Structure 1
Amino acid sequence: MLEQHLPLAGVPAVESPFFDAIFAAADVDEHTLKVARQLRENGFAVIDFPDVEFDRIAEEIKRDLHDR
């Protein structure tokens, strides 16, 4: 579990100066590591959701929250 490898309490793993050591010690899959690297390097990550209904659900959420 990633939380067990965080040497600086309160510092997200992707912002830690120990990023490489944290992710070397953590048991994460290649996709998770790719997203973590994107977050660290770019400040954001592009995530492809496998849900074929994602666009419809996102539009529904935006419509429901439009007036808030």
Structure 2
Amino acid sequence: MKNKWEVIHEMDGENGEPTSWAREINHSKYGKFVWITENENGLYDVEVDRGGFTTLVTCKTVISAKRWVSMNIA
């Protein structure tokens, strides 16, 4: 999974469209994984688990969220 985004199909929308992605990062500050999740406003939250999910940034598109992760975490 490292360096590759995986769709989390358990979180797919009603019509089967993906709404959540995960990537292994093994980061000293942010942990083993980073997630991108479509929120209730149709935007995309970049999240990490630090004993509870924390949103690092919200992006307009999933592509911009993936780009943000590549530039700032991975």
TM-score range normalised by the length of the shorter chain:
under 0.3
Q: Which has the larger radius of gyration?
A: 1
Q: Which has the higher strand share?
A: 2
Q: Which has the higher helix share?
A: 1
Of structures 1 and 2, the one scoring higher in RCO (CA 8 A, sep 6+) is: 1
**TM-score with structure 1 setting the length:** 0.24
**TM-score with structure 2 setting the length:** 0.23
